[in-house]
A and B are shown apart, each in its own frame.
Chain A
């Protein structure tokens, strides 16, 4: 089995790791495909329209062919609902949606960078339904002008259109490619790079070992390898990654530069096998040749040296075996240098026997050790490069990759390791929320007059207009991961105190079915007149409603301003039940006051705040909140402050704050912020 198939550097990423990367990075409709998630596919048929809804609970990935990737989306509790007049409801459907696309290396948008990508606009999609789902589809189509085969064909077409609209998706596998230049093992720079699947043979469980392979050439001017010669992933069982460097690339880019650097020579100036030079002097010994040969489990380093003395010429040869291990995640070389073999020519008797072998042996050991140390440093740089400098792998780089095994074969060196942790988006869970708002539909009456403040900062006369407003609240339930069609049960109830962050108390409520008017008893209502602080009235309120997929509520303007709590309980075809609550505020009676009242009030408040600050009434004094639908939290905070200070000025001004802010004041008091803790700190201080 070939590991490198004639390439210089092969990076293998396991199928499982590619799947995790896809879950974290591929998006359908703006959401990641980390299950569970849901897909909505518009359905259009001549004379009819509707919505397909898939709840995906599992995603798998398989590699096929040269570069194809098959994503399998396992769905359940899914549905196709076609609106009238065709009126088809096929629910509780389960099955698999297969998406076949092609992986490719494309420009990342950064100079010289390529990234792994799949263009889903060319994807093909197939839909497989379970037998139970097939039966439900047949039942839903009974009596309809649409047969199951046509239905499924249309569903497949729509699903394919949806997937194709997703467009190009990119995995964070980025590589630098510089054609025509020598690549770099340590910096992860390729001269050429190809992407191909690596498919193994089936094991005893009929599972195929699969990986995505990045096949790179680092040396220009030599033909690329043939990826088809690689007959399976080199990734060890239980591992994510394998990085293999060919003996050729190791020799040219790692081993030889490690010898050349200390001699301050180019590789070409080195003696064979690195270059064609005559030899380099190292500590008085001339290195006349050196080579590295990959064998099973080791690299053999062989070389020759020469040394001449007063009465001798010595020629030596040496051999070292270099083995590798991973210690604490670091690549470590273990170099064993054999005793060198030396032939000495002597012209006549001279005493040198004891003086020669030891020093030459030491020097040879030094040469081999230092060159291998330098080589290992480059290999470490490669692993660091793979870990983030040169190639990114996963968001923010491949910084967390860990290696725990290294293997050497006649082809090259392979590091085995694990991908960094891939952070998947938080999975969703079934639930529901209420979204909606109240708008004013019309004006049904009111009054006009003048309001006089006889003394104090606000002294003056201000014109006002009272208006009674007919308002409509429109609310929809927004489900998440719930099957369709949903059975919705809407309720309204009076608010007992502030709206809580927690589930509604269901002790007093009215079910809303169809259309009608519900009476909610003993509701706290408010009228802005008499000025400035108006009137609170506890009374029954009458709320018109239409309850269906959408809840529409209408107030009765003469009943003033009040808040209610709206709840919805949803039940899906699989029997999952969830609920949600929201507040609704009707402002049936409001006052607009003019004549410079607001400007005067703001001025008075600022003056009063200045006094409060001067006397250090509170550790923290909030600013005046301008009148224009301020954030509820800001107004709540200001109101709390005025209550807490409790000076005559605050007592005088508080009703005017309520008048100025009008409905905002009421909304603030009924908001969730009002039910939360105050950010005011410290105790009131005495003057």
Chain B
């Protein structure tokens, strides 16, 4: 479910995602444990910060990061529900690897 605090941000292509990266990262940073939630389940987090990815874009990301096939909802929900500071705090400086990387 999209977080109602965020204005919905429609992303129709991978290039657009990268163009809007700074704005999206700011949303993640404002989200409690946002960096950690991003690592737990980037698609759930993006949805929670109001980013609506087009199906094509999600497929492109999954192609670029095969490890994203093993994500689970349970850890993400637990972390999101926790109000405790985490021992490891992740600061996300970028969203996904650029194609040329």
**Complex Cα distance A344/B38, Å?**
13
Known: A344-B89, A344-B90, A356-B88. A349 touches B36 (CB 8 A): no
* B88 in contact with A348 (CB, 8 Å): no
A31 contacts partner chain B, Cβ-Cβ < 8 Å: no
With CB as the reference atom, state the residue of chain A lying closest to B39: A353
B91 contacts partner chain A, Cβ-Cβ < 8 Å: yes
Interface string of B66-101 (1 = CB under 8 A from A): 011000000000000000010111111111111001
- Return B34 CB to nearest CB of chain A, in Å: 12
B65 contacts partner chain A, Cβ-Cβ < 8 Å: yes
* A346 in contact with B91 (CB, 8 Å): yes
* B87 in contact with A343 (CB, 8 Å): no
A438 contacts partner chain B, Cβ-Cβ < 8 Å: no
B40 contacts partner chain A, Cβ-Cβ < 8 Å: yes
CB-defined contacts of A341 to chain B, threshold 8 Å? 85, 87, 89
* A357 in contact with B87 (CB, 8 Å): yes
CB-defined contacts of B32 to chain A, threshold 8 Å? none
CB-defined contacts of A348 to chain B, threshold 8 Å? 93-98, 101
Known: A342-B87, A346-B90. A353 touches B40 (CB 8 A): yes
**Complex Cα distance A340/B92, Å?**
20
* A353 in contact with B91 (CB, 8 Å): no
* B91 in contact with A349 (CB, 8 Å): no
- Return A303 CB to nearest CB of chain B, in Å: 15
* A349 in contact with B95 (CB, 8 Å): yes
Interface size on A, as a range, is 10 to 19
CB-defined contacts of B101 to chain A, threshold 8 Å? 348
With CB as the reference atom, state the residue of chain B lying closest to A338: B87
Interface string of A358-386 (1 = CB under 8 A from B): 00010000000000000000000000000
* B94 in contact with A347 (CB, 8 Å): yes
* A349 in contact with B42 (CB, 8 Å): yes
- Return A107 CB to nearest CB of chain B, in Å: 58
CB-defined contacts of B40 to chain A, threshold 8 Å? 353
Interface string of B17-40 (1 = CB under 8 A from A): 000000000000000000110111
* A346 in contact with B89 (CB, 8 Å): no
- Provide the main secondary structure of the chain A interface: mixed
Among B65, B85, B88, B89, point to the contact of A349 (Cβ < 8 A): B65
* B97 in contact with A345 (CB, 8 Å): no
A339 contacts partner chain B, Cβ-Cβ < 8 Å: yes
Interface string of A318-355 (1 = CB under 8 A from B): 00000000000000000000011111111111011100
**Complex Cα distance A314/B91, Å?**
10
**Complex Cα distance A343/B93, Å?**
12
CB-defined contacts of A342 to chain B, threshold 8 Å? 87-89
With CB as the reference atom, state the residue of chain A lying closest to B98: A348
**Complex Cα distance A356/B89, Å?**
11
CB-defined contacts of B68 to chain A, threshold 8 Å? 349
Interface string of B35-51 (1 = CB under 8 A from A): 11011101000000000
- Return B22 CB to nearest CB of chain A, in Å: 13
- Return B47 CB to nearest CB of chain A, in Å: 15
* B89 in contact with A340 (CB, 8 Å): no
With CB as the reference atom, state the residue of chain B lying closest to A340: B87
* A343 in contact with B89 (CB, 8 Å): yes
* A349 in contact with B39 (CB, 8 Å): yes
**Complex Cα distance A431/B88, Å?**
84
Which residues A433-482 have CB closer than 8 A to chain B?
none
Which residues A565-601 have CB closer than 8 A to chain B?
none
**Complex Cα distance A343/B101, Å?**
24
Nearest 3 A/B pairs, CB to CB = A348-B94, A342-B88, A357-B88
Beyond the given A346-B93, A348-B101, A356-B88, please list 8 additional residue pairs across the A-B interface where CB-CB is below 8 A: A314-B88, A339-B87, A344-B90, A345-B91, A346-B92, A352-B39, A353-B88, A357-B88
21 contacts across the A-B interface (CB closer than 8 A): A314-B88, A339-B87, A340-B87, A341-B85, A342-B87, A342-B89, A343-B89, A343-B90, A344-B89, A346-B35, A346-B91, A348-B96, A349-B38, A349-B65, A349-B95, A349-B96, A349-B97, A351-B39, A353-B39, A357-B87, A357-B88
